Amino acid sequence: MSVSRLSKLLQFMEQDPKDPFILYALATEYNNLDNTAEAFRFYLKLVAEHPSYVGTYYHLGKLYEKQDETAQAITTYQQGMEAARNKRDMHAFSELQGAFNSASGLDYEDD
């Protein structure tokens, strides 16, 4: 089923190669298929071409963390928080801040 979804998304991209939602969907699908190289390619394309597409930063940061690239994940979360703040998307900001805190080792609980 995922291959069929991937094929459809690739067809959509042929029709509109700059649509940020399609790029995001492709990145997410590749990530779900454990195709890290393609997931990175599409997430990074989104950051470069559509820096205000806030949803990218959380998933790109998590992908960096999965690759043990914590410093790059933290930087990505910071970029995402700035993009979310600029869009006044406080829900996304909060999620990114939580991911940033966790990656930075700041997610402690009171005992």
Amino acid at 67: Q
Longest dimension (CA), the chain: 54
In a domain, 111, yes or no: no
Cβ neighbours of 8 (radius 10 Å): 12
Instruction: Look up the CATH number of the domain holding residue 76.
Output: 1.25.40.10
| Local confidence band at 2 (pLDDT 50, 70, 90 cut-offs) | low
Domain that holds residue 23: 2-104
**Which pLDDT belongs to residue 106?**
86
Number of domains into which the chain is organized: 1
pTM over 0.85: yes
